[in-house]
């Protein structure tokens, strides 16, 4: 029998974020042999620290990134059909004030300032309407409703806002459970034959006899193993440059620009279910989004980040910036006392030489390097909305080395749990409550919006709450945690309460500590049993 370290896989992927897992899923579905290593938990960096939106990027139109926006707009509905449990439509309210001025510069504002200097510092209403017209029509929209005008003086959307705002434009985008998206891609990749290794660091990778020779280290035990691959994919996210320089030791001149985006989560600031799109005096925008039923998510910032090894945190300066920004719109100022949690992520943008972090391109760049024999694909940048297209374009660069690979296949193919109609969540919740009467509405909703049709599998055979085992707080039970360990790569309480869910907003520190202790003992027992076999 051939050991794993003697086997040669077609692709070895470094990085378990959305780009790495998306490429792994696409490649495995085309018949390629794939192995993926992530040094931490899946989605532990950028892919769990987004603003949680599938969106075209309305503001990118000001930078003339029309191709990127069009691709993202088309993808919104493609993705909705594949994952209706973790993604759903949301309406966005853009308040307009004719005297609003901003100091930031974009290619569009420079042009306007030249043609109409009296408009300096303003986005005129016609420009906003034109941008929204493009937004409605660039992507062949079929499911999502188009733009409308809202009277803020009479509608519920205006109640939490300052009286100076009388009119708003309302358009469509989508919400996404970002870290669950990553995990479900990894699961589907594994179901199609890929090997997914978490908490496994790639120590080195070098070309030997036309193949990649890769040294791996188990981050828990320190044990080292080696693997071989025909092609290496560097989807290291914030570490993509570090992989190029220190892991692969390449002479590539391509580089990444690290841009930190910070968010704050506050107590619920308003009652309706729509999101706000706020324009700032500095030319930037932020969102205020209904979050986890009882909270509001506000973000994001754009600040250059020093290096991937520096943990991103929402600084006091960024926190105060978001508070001041949001307070410029809401009647009741948003204060530090309203904040219940903050988080920050680093976007690994392709370094295009832009003057500011805000202006740096959000488009992705894929570079194949063949020097020395075995090919290397470096992945720079990308948006969570276009992850599937990024994977398809990555495979376009990969398949010439593997002529037997099948064609593109992922469009509208459901992720695990997503095999039900778009906008069918309410029915699924009702069906789950009917089958398991001990569930209340909130519990059933959380399960369906995390697991979709697989929620019934987690609960299978249970006739009462006690059948689900130990209760860890809120509505998290032993049955669900075991599912997350066995099927979704969870190894710590942090994996469970901040990435597989957001129950960290609900559980006490003592409850999280007890959960972590239980998970570690359970995982140790399972690893011991596996070793004995």
CATH number at 392 reads 3.50.50.60
331: CATH: 3.30.9.10
Indicate whether 245 belongs to any domain: yes
Q: Which two tokens stand for residue 449?
A: 């919006």
**Nearest CA among 501, 507, 492, 490 for reference residue 455:** 501
**Do 273 and 196 fall within a single domain?**
no
CATH number of the domain encompassing residue 508: 1.10.8.870
In a domain, 454, yes or no: yes
Whether residues 261 and 329 share a domain: the answer is yes
Rounded CA gap, 109 and 106, in Å?
5
In terms of domains, do 294 and 154 share one? yes
230 and 271 share one domain: no
Clarify whether residues 454 and 520 are in a common domain: yes
User: Which pLDDT score is estimated for 363?
Assistant: 78
Of residues 374, 284, 286, 370, the one with CA closest to residue 326:
286
Token output for 453: 């049709």
* Paired sense of beta strands 303-304 and 256-267, if any: antiparallel
The verdict on 158 and 243 lying in the same domain is no
In a domain? residue 367: yes
Residues 455 and 518 in one domain: yes
Q: Which residues pair with 214 in a beta bridge?
A: 205, 227
Domain span holding position 377: 4-46+179-255+362-401
Integer Cα distance of 122 and 98 in angstroms = 8
55 occurs within a structural domain: no
In this structure, are 320 and 366 located in the same domain? no
Helix (H, G, I), strand (E, B) or coil at 330: strand
Q: Is residue 69 part of a domain?
A: no
Domain contains 71: no
Q: Determine, yes or no, domain membership for 323.
A: yes
Q: How far is CA 201 from CA 128, 221, 224, in A?
A: 47, 11, 9
Same domain for 289 and 207, yes or no, is no
Six token digits for residue 112 = 């306007």
Count of structural domains within the chain: 3
Looking at the structure, do residues 150 and 207 belong to the same domain, yes or no?
no
Q: What pLDDT is attached to residue 141?
A: 87
Do residues 501 and 481 lie in contact, with contact meaning Cβ atoms separated by under 8 Å?
no
Residue 527 pLDDT: 53
For residues 9 and 107, membership in a common domain is answered with: no
What are the pLDDT digits (tens) for 67-81?
888 888 999 999 999
Distance set, CA 102 to CA 93, 160, 260, 381, 394 (Å): 19, 23, 22, 27, 38
Q: Pick out the chain residues at pLDDT < 50.
A: 1-2, 111-120, 530-531, 533
Q: What pLDDT is recorded for position 118? A: 36
Domain end, chosen from 285, 318, 349, is at: 349
433 shares its domain with 500: yes
Tell me if 418 is assigned to some domain: no
């Amino acid at each position: 029998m051939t050991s794993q370290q003697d086997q040669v896989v077609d692709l070895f992927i470094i990085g378990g974020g959305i780009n790495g897992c998306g490429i792994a899923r696409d490649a495995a579905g085309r018949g390629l042999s794939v192995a993926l290593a992530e040094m931490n938990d899946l989605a532990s960096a950028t892919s769990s620290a987004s603003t949680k939106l599938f969106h075209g990027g309305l503001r990118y139109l000001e930078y003339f990134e029309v191709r990127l926006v069009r691709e993202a707009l088309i993808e919104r509905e493609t993705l909705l059909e594949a994952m209706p449990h973790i993604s759903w439509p949301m309406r966005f309210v853009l308040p307009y004030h004719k005297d609003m001025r901003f100091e930031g510069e974009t290619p569009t504002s420079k042009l306007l300032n030249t043609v109409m200097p009296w408009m300096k510092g303003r986005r005129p209403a016609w420009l906003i309407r034109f941008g929204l017209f493009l937004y409605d029509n660039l992507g062949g929209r079929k499911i999502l409703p188009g733009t409308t005008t809202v009277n803020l003086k009479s509608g519920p959307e205006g109640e939490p806002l300052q009286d100076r705002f009388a009119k708003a434009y309302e358009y469509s985008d989508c919400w996404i459970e970002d870290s669950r998206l990553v995990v479900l891609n990894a699961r589907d990749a594994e179901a199609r034959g890929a090997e997914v290794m978490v908490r496994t660091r790639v120590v080195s990778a070098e070309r030997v006899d036309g193949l990649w020779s890769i040294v791996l280290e188990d981050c828990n035990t320190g044990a080292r193993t080696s693997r071989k691959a025909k092609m290496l994919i560097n989807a290291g996210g914030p570490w993509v440059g570090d992989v190029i320089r220190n892991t692969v030791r390449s002479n590539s001149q391509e580089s990444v620009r690290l841009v930190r985006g910070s968010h704050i989560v506050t107590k619920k600031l308003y009652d309706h279910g729509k999101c706000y799109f706020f324009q700032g005096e500095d030319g930037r925008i932020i969102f205020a989004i209904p979050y986890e039923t009882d909270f509001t998510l506000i973000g994001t910032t754009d600040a250059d980040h020093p290096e991937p090894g520096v943990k991103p945190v929402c600084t006091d300066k960024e926190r105060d910036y978001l508070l001041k920004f949001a307070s410029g719109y809401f009647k009741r100022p948003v204060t530090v006392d309203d904040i219940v949690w903050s988080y920050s992520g680093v976007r690994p943008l392709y370094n295009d030489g832009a003057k500011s972090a805000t202006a740096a391109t959000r488009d992705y760049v894929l570079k194949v390097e063949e020097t020395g024999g075995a090919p290397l694909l470096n992945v720079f940048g990308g948006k969570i909305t276009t992850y599937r297209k990024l994977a398809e374009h990555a495979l376009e660069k990969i398949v010439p080395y593997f002529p037997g690979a099948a064609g593109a296949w992922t469009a509208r193919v459901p992720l695990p749990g997503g095999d039900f109609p778009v906008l069918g969540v309410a029915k699924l919740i009702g069906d789950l409550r009917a089958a398991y009467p001990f569930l209340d509405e909130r519990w059933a909703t959380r399960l369906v919006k995390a697991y979709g049709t697989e929620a019934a599998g987690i609960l299978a055979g249970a006739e009462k709450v006690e059948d689900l085992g130990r209760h860890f707080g809120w509505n998290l039970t032993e049955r669900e945690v075991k599912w997350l360990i066995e099927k979704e790569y969870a190894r710590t309480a942090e994996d469970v309460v901040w990435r597989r869910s957001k129950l960290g907003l609900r559980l006490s520190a003592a409850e999280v500590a007890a959960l972590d202790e239980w998970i570690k003992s359970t995982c140790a027992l399972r690893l011991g049993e596996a070793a004995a076999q």
